[in-house]
Amino acid sequence: MEFQVKFDINEKIFLRNPESSEVGRQMVKKAIDLIYELGFEQFTFKKLALEISSTEATIYRYFENKHRLLLYILNWYWSYMEFLVTFQLENVSDKKERLKIILNLLTQEPTESTNQFDYNKKLLNQIVIAESSKVYLVKEVTEINKNEVFKPYKDLCGKIAEVISEYNPKYKYPRSLSTTLIETSHHQQYFSINLPKLTDVSSENSSNFTSKFIEDFLFKVLD
Amino acid sequence: MEFQVKFDINEKIFLRNPESSEVGRQMVKKAIDLIYELGFEQFTFKKLALEISSTEATIYRYFENKHRLLLYILNWYWSYMEFLVTFQLENVSDKKERLKIILNLLTQEPTESTNQFDYNKKLLNQIVIAESSKVYLVKEVTEINKNEVFKPYKDLCGKIAEVISEYNPKYKYPRSLSTTLIETSHHQQYFSINLPKLTDVSSENSSNFTSKFIEDFLFKVLD
DNA sequence: TATTTGAGATAGTATTACTATCATATGAAA
DNA sequence: TTTCATATGATAGTAATACTATCTCAAATA
């Protein structure tokens, strides 16, 4: 079975919908490749324009600045994650199993994209790990939050919080635990590769280290 | 009782030691004010030069770029935190109490700096919450890590991990739990102020929300 | 006293992050 | 089929950023 998913991204994020044209779609696809390759700081619209054989001016007609473009990509990712959670939880009633499915989604590398029209999920996942905090750790966070541009992240968090509460209705901090799971999965994956002394990875336990760590703490917190 | 603390910051971080001159000291002090005020992205050496009535060229003689200056500030902070942990743990033998002291240091606003020669700890704390991840979430992380510039963070992590292991020697992930405590305390403090829907704060439980969440979390994991 | 060193002043460059204008192609509406 | 709106590309230009280089002067040091 194969299918594509589309999400309605909040219109406040872009000036012109990149889904509405070929350049727009190319723009987002190549942006993912470039941000992965260069890191967000070194990524520029000039470099992206060159890559898609277009111009800076054209890109600026779609996105106000590179921060917005990153936000667009992350909104897509968060929507996609919420979709995956919903989809994979379908018909699973065991409450522990439901949590495990979520942990799996948060810590496993996504499967390779099979069709060329889709975004590259592996690169996207790496971008989320290394760059996602840069969209909210900015001075203007309150201002940009007014346009509900973080709604997909909040929704994902809310969905995971629900599953947590189903499992243990007495637990008092389902949302905070939910963001902690998400953020910690990013940190520990990043640290275990780049700054392993900040973790407990070793050559023996390196495979799925983050999974094991997070699963261990989640069930200790909830049981 | 009042005293000042000095730390030897890794020489690879700066070109010229800012502690060695008055401009240098002013530079770091004012950088803390400015980064707090503008956020790291909007902070520039030009603005800092103006603020200390010096020139960009002078600042560049001390620091290669603003990333290094932020790293310098964070190294000082991490060293300071490790000092505080060591100091406040002195003569406390109760193992649970020792963990509680650490949690307190991670989640409480620091006390106002009493003397003008010292850095402003409250601003520093806010900078750590909002900007610290930007020093390691960069493409060049492996390269800059070679100079041991993250040693103070790793040492702090190691020290907290020791206290965790004392409390529960069987726990398998003391370092990862340690970084999770540190990073989660930053996230939850930031979210509870700026994106409260990502947490469980409410008007009733807002005071020390992060403290309560993390304490609950830590002892459930370790007991 | 001679010499090194640090700071300030000044200038200059490449790149970034935009904004503006105009011509042309395309596709839909009349 | 013509008309017209709209998107794109080409080009240009600006202010700010992130540097580097050079020279002078003053103060510390040998």
Per residue in A44-61, pLDDT (tens digit) is 999 999 999 999 999 999
Average pLDDT over residues B104-108: 96
Q: Which nucleotide is nearest to B49 (CA to C1')?
A: C8
For A20, A144, B62, B181, B213, the CA distances from B13, given in Å and listed in that order, are 47, 34, 9, 26, 35
Per residue in A61-102, pLDDT (tens digit) is 999 999 999 999 999 999 999 999 999 999 999 999 999 999
- Protein-proximal nucleotides of chain D (any atom < 7 Å from a CB): 7-12, 16-22
Q: What is the pLDDT of residue B1?
A: 62
B151-167 vs B66-89: helix axis angle to the nearest 10? 30
Average pLDDT over residues B136-152: 96
Percent over 70 (pLDDT), chain B: 97
Nearest C-alpha neighbor of B136 from the set B123, B152, B155, B149: B149
Rounded to whole angstroms, how far apart are CA atoms A36 and A189?
16
A111: buried, middle or exposed (CB in 10 Å: 19+, 13-18, 0-12)? Answer: exposed
Q: How confident is the model at residue A2 (pLDDT cuts 50, 70, 90)?
A: low
Mean per-residue pLDDT of chain A: 95
Per residue in B145-177, pLDDT (tens digit) is 999 999 999 999 999 999 999 999 999 999 999
Yes or no: say if B41 and A139 are a contact pair by the CB < 8 Å rule.
Answer: yes
Q: What is the pLDDT of residue A112?
A: 76
Q: Is the CB of residue B196 less than 8 Å away from at least one CB of chain A?
A: no
- Round to a whole number and report the distance in Å from the CA of A21 to the C1' of C27: 13
Per residue in B198-222, pLDDT (tens digit) is 999 998 888 899 999 999 999 999 9
Nearest C-alpha neighbor of A124 from the set A29, A27, A16, A23: A29
Q: What is the pLDDT of residue A1?
A: 61
pLDDT at A6 exceeding the cut of 90: no
Q: What is the pLDDT of residue B131?
A: 98
Note whether A153 contacts B198, CB cutoff 8 Å. yes
Q: What is the pLDDT of residue A31?
A: 98
Q: What is the pLDDT of residue B5?
A: 81
For B196, residues 6+ apart whose C-beta sits below 8 A from its C-beta are none
Nearest to A173 among B139, B153, B200 (CB): B200
Using DSSP, state whether B37 is helix, strand or coil: helix
Q: In the CATH scheme, what is the code of domain A11-222? A: 1.10.357.10
Yes or no: say if B175 and A199 are a contact pair by the CB < 8 Å rule.
Answer: yes
Angle among Cα A40, A43, A47 to the nearest 5 degrees reads: 165
Q: What is the pLDDT of residue A118?
A: 83
Rounded to whole angstroms, how far apart are CA atoms B130 and B70?
12
**A102 CA to centre of own chain:** 14
Per residue in A145-198, pLDDT (tens digit) is 999 999 999 999 999 999 999 999 999 999 999 999 999 999 999 999 999 999
Q: How confident is the model at residue B111 (pLDDT cuts 50, 70, 90)?
A: confident
Domain boundaries, chain A: 11-222
Pick the CATH number of B18-222 from 3.90.1640.20, 1.10.357.10, 3.40.50.1980, 3.30.70.1250: 1.10.357.10
Smallest Cα–C1' distance to nucleotide D22: which residue has it? B57
